[in-house]
Chain A
């Protein structure tokens, strides 16, 4: 196990490096300039700005210096767009926000999704199953950019219970709607995967054996069926977790949370090179970590899998 983790981490470093290099090249290839908006600036001014941010150096040197600063000083450099802020500042401010509502959404989606899926499978073809399937189909076809305005319309404009946006230092009233809007469609997917996987397991021979032994139903389900049934769910959860905690762009923009997803999109649109790179590395590292956790969970759930 330890050897497996070390091996995976050893692969992670070159993977991240390749990610940085490819992102850097793609970014430089994109037309546009981080310092020019609708108003162009005189060449002398642009030269000063380039000198200030080291963009006057050859590009291979910029890349090397960037990698050096990230690896040895954990410094992602100054933001080109937010001129009084560093990329470290931007991540430090935005990531906790998205992590908070993302983690809550992940928790809600997983717990409710798995519960719904299990209930539907165990009571297949009952009204509970129909209700669950109906709900999940409905939830899955409503994308979050539709869900968010509906929530705001109901809870902000009609009922006046919750603020329609903002973060307010993570006050629970500001967190609820982003969590619901983000969780809904994931929840539906998780419920549907759980249901079909559970049905398959419940039809297998060893479950029939368990029932034949006279085990009570709850013990058959929770003791024998659930764990193997969760395998496909767990492999789905890895990327979902990363997707959720790194921020849904739609949620960030719609609820103006100040999260990292918003910073990511803005930096891409404004060619804020250093911020794009910083967040890309963060996302890359999180993806690698989440995949590692999923693999470890696999081995724990199914002893047949050797790491």
Chain B
């Protein structure tokens, strides 16, 4: 693999700390003067599944979010490197302790029907997100990023009007946070916090997102939405930065099968498609200029049931958990099984998270032989070995990739520790249910960050977190998580938390994801450096070949 393909993201969070006034150049398709543009500017993007609800406050999945990001625009966008750039807001000010943010909305920002975008549109949208009547899955996001009273509104304890967001005037929006958050700006590219057109939603109800009704404020407007087939959006002439938009039309084409996606990419029907599992080395050799592997903001790990409900007493012993984790040869998994530029993981938080420094994890510095030797030592100390073999039940959802990893790990454990790993695959929904009810021993798990800051990963280790499938509870971790919210440099706490998690082994991190895809050479402007891969069609352009 070529190094220039694995593009690193630059952590610049510190630059945002203590800023009082920030406005910068907006980001748009950055076409070099000498570039010759293609005559047809249509970007065709392959999506795996149906595009679900195109409603900013309802949308949940990554692919649909890419549609929503093209149709709507929040206060700030993600730039090419993932750093926030002004969107509908042209600037903001923040008070000294990072709890009150005031945004200046562009005078030129308009909805696709020509109406101006106002601060009130954001107030309406954010209230709508937390309103119990909206019943959004992402209602909790508003509270997660700190907006005052959000959680109480979701729980029905307070009216929506108490939400910590208000319109000072048509172009000034003030947001009050319940804790000091220097990274609040980073959360604004999330669809939940996009504005919403009140008049249309109230008039059309659930049908407001249909192509004939929808009004949006992004660079594109919806022209067709055929679930399971395609979504088509055309350039929005009312968009404030329309003059810098190059792509005229965006198509999201559903292709459920990865190999079919590759075939249609080869036939020129789509500009981008994912590389089917295991085919990266061959495609990279065949089409080096069109095959990409970039880091993706997700961690793959095994969850250990840490509750009293753990059916397997051996896993309650931290020595056993540590031994098992050490005996997993991550290099074999990323280089031998996945073969797509993934990175071996010895800790939880993605290493490219903005402002985050990966702490020193002892295991990551050892050779695999050293790790194996220590694993055997620990297993023996715990009273297990070849003469007293251990059997563990592992659950995962049906998928070739999960199965391969499980099989490889079971062989490693069998050979090195004499551990028998019983594999049980199940339907995804059944896995979720089993994991959540904590009746498992060991389970496949994965997490993708919601915003580019370490708490998006580490908050999962909070004993009260809904996402804490392990049922892991450590008073120190909870305390550090609390402290990190007001700390000048939360990395101090983050390092402690990661180190504690390595000590307690509620999870066994396996690898950090890579997005492995094929892209036509004439497509330019892709945000390779954004670890969240938040692409905006308005930033892309096609050159003539």
A interface list, Cβ under 8 A from B: 30-33, 35-45, 48-49, 51-53, 78, 81-86, 90, 93-94, 149, 152-153, 156-157, 160, 163-167, 252-254, 256-259, 262-263, 266, 269-271
B100-135: which residues lie under 8 A (CB-CB) from chain A?
Answer: 132-135
From the candidates B137, B260, B467, name the one contacting A49 in the complex (CB within 8 A): B137
User: Would you call B227 an interface residue if the criterion is a C-beta within 8 Å of the partner chain's C-beta atoms?
Assistant: yes
- Could you tell me which residues of chain B, from 37 to 96, have a CB within 8 Å of some CB in chain A? 49-50, 52-55, 58, 60-61
B228 touches A269 (CB 8 A): no
Known contacts A258-B227, A262-B228, A263-B228; is-contact A31 B429 (Cβ 8 Å): yes
30 A/B residue pairs, CB under 8 Å, sorted by A: A30-B429, A33-B429, A38-B447, A39-B137, A40-B467, A40-B469, A41-B139, A45-B135, A45-B154, A53-B135, A81-B52, A82-B50, A82-B52, A83-B53, A83-B206, A84-B210, A149-B263, A152-B264, A153-B263, A156-B264, A167-B229, A253-B256, A254-B256, A254-B260, A258-B226, A259-B228, A262-B50, A266-B228, A269-B427, A269-B429
CA A52 to CA B156, docked complex, whole Å: 13
Interface residue from A41, A156, A166, A271 paired with B263 (Cβ < 8 Å): A156
Instruction: Compute how far the CA of A252 lies from the CA of B257 in the bound complex, rounded to whole angstroms.
Output: 11
Known interface pairs A48-B135, A48-B156; 9 further A-B residue pairs with C-beta atoms within 8 A, sorted by A's residue number: A31-B433, A48-B139, A52-B133, A84-B54, A149-B260, A166-B230, A258-B229, A262-B256, A266-B228
B30 → chain A closest CB, angstroms: 31
Contacts of A31 in B (CB 8 A): 429-430, 433-434
Q: Least Cβ distance of B347 to chain A in Å?
A: 20
A164 & B429 in contact (Cβ 8 Å cutoff):
no
* In contact, B135 and A270 (Cβ under 8 angstroms): no
Asked if A256 and B209 sit within 8 Å, CB to CB, the answer is no
* A271 surroundings in chain B (CB, below 8 A): 429
Q: In the assembly, what is the distance between CA of A52 and CA of B136, in Å?
A: 10
Q: Is there a chain A Cβ closer than 8 Å to B458's Cβ?
A: no
B155-A44 in contact (CB<8A)? yes
Give the contacting residue for A43; candidates B134, B266, B466; CB below 8 A: B466
| Given A93-B226, A256-B255, A52 contacting B429 (CB threshold 8 A) | no
What 3 pairs between A and B have smallest CB-CB spacing? A32-B429, A258-B229, A52-B135
Chain B interface size, as a band, is 35 or more
Which residues from A are CB-within-8-Å of B430? Answer: 30-32
Q: Name the residue on B nearest A38 (C-beta).
A: B446
Is B149 in the interface zone, CB < 8 Å from A? no
Point out the residues of chain A lying under 8 angstroms from B207, CB to CB.
84
Is the CB of B432 closer than 8 A to any CB of chain A?
Answer: yes
In the complex, chain B residues whose CB is within 8 Å of the CB of A81: 52
Nearest A residue (CB) for B298: A38
A166 to B270, CA, bound (A): 11
Say whether B253 faces chain A, with CB atoms less than 8 Å apart: yes
A51 to B134, CA, bound (A): 10
Which of the residues B257, B434, B436 comes within 8 Å of A40, measured between beta carbons? Answer: B436
Nearest opposing residue in chain B for A148, CB measure? B260
B151 within 8 A of A: yes
In Å, the complex CA distance between A204 and B229 comes to 52
B269 is an interface residue with CB less than 8 A from chain A: yes
Q: Whole-angstrom distance from the CB of B130 to the nearest CB of chain A?
A: 9
The chain B residue sitting closest to A78, CB to CB, is B206
Q: What residues of chain A lie closer than 8 Å to B140, measured between beta carbons?
A: 41-42, 44-45
User: For the complex, what is the distance from the CA of A302 to the CA of B156, rounded to whole Å?
Assistant: 68
Q: A40-B466, A48-B154, A83-B58 are in contact. Are A164 and B267 (CB under 8 A)?
A: yes
Q: Tell yes or no: B254 within 8 A of A by CB.
A: yes
Residue numbers in A under 8 Å from B466 (CB-CB): 40-43
Candidates B134, B156, B263, B432; contact of A152 at CB < 8 Å: B263
Contact B433 A33 (CB under 8 A): yes
Q: Beyond A32-B427, A252-B228, is A258–B254 a contact (Cβ under 8 Å)?
A: yes
Complexed CA–CA distance, A284 and B432 (Å)? 31
What's the nearest-Cβ distance from chain B to residue A80, in Å? 11
B228 and A165 within 8 A (CB): no
Contacts of A83 in B (CB 8 A): 52-53, 55, 58, 206
Asked if A156 contacts B267 (CB within 8 A), the reply is yes
A262 and B255 CA atoms in complex are apart in Å by 11
Complex alpha-carbon distance, A52 and B447, angstroms = 28
Q: How far is the CA of A41 from the CA of B446 in the complex (A)?
A: 15
Chain A minimum-CB-distance residue to B205: A84
Q: How far apart are the CA atoms of A167 and B231 in the complex, in Å?
A: 12
Q: Which residue of B lies closest to A162 (CB)?
A: B267
With a cutoff of 8 Å between Cβ atoms, the chain B residues found around residue A258 in the complex are 226-230, 254
Report how far A254 CA is from B259 CA in the complex, Å: 10
Assess the A84–B55 pair: CB atoms within 8 A: yes
Residue numbers in A under 8 Å from B54 (CB-CB): 84
Interface string of B202-221 (1 = CB under 8 A from A): 00001111100000000000
Cβ-defined contact, B260 with A164, below 8 A = yes
B201 to chain A, nearest CB (A): 11
How distant is the Cα of A152 from the Cα of B54 in the complex, in angstroms?
A: 31
Quick check: B228 and A257 within 8 Å, CB to CB?
Answer: yes
Q: How far is the CA of A125 from the CA of B260 in the complex (A)?
A: 41
**Shortest CB distance A248–B (Å):** 13
Given the known interface contacts A44-B151, A269-B428, the answer about A254 and B257 at a Cβ–Cβ threshold of 8 Å is: yes
Q: Please tell me if the beta carbons of A82 and B428 are within 8 angstroms of each other in the complex.
A: no
Give the complex CA separation of A175 and B156 in angstroms.
Answer: 51
Q: Nearest-CB distance from B444 to chain A (Å)?
A: 10
Interface string of B272-299 (1 = CB under 8 A from A): 0000000000000000000000000000
Residues of chain B within 8 A of A36, CB atoms compared: 432, 436
Minimal beta-carbon separation of A105 from chain B (angstroms): 18
Q: Kindly state the separation between the CA atoms of A270 and B427 in the bound complex, as whole angstroms.
A: 10
Chain B hits for A39, CB < 8 A: 60, 137, 467
Roughly how many angstroms separate A51 CA and B133 CA in the complex, as a whole number? Answer: 8
Find chain B residues with CB under 8 A from A37 CB.
60-61, 432
Minimal beta-carbon separation of B197 from chain A (angstroms) = 14
A266 to B448: give the CA distance in the assembly, Å: 22
Are A157 and B257 in touch, CB under 8 angstroms?
A: no
Complex Cα–Cα for A4 and B151 (A)? 62
Encode contact with A along B491-525: 1 for CB under 8 Å, 0 otherwise: 00000000000000000000000000000000000
Query: In this complex, which of B54, B226, B467 has the most chain A Cβ atoms within 10 angstroms of its Cβ?
Result: B226
CB-based contact B269/A51 at 8 Å? no
Q: Are A94 and B228 in contact (CB under 8 A)?
A: yes
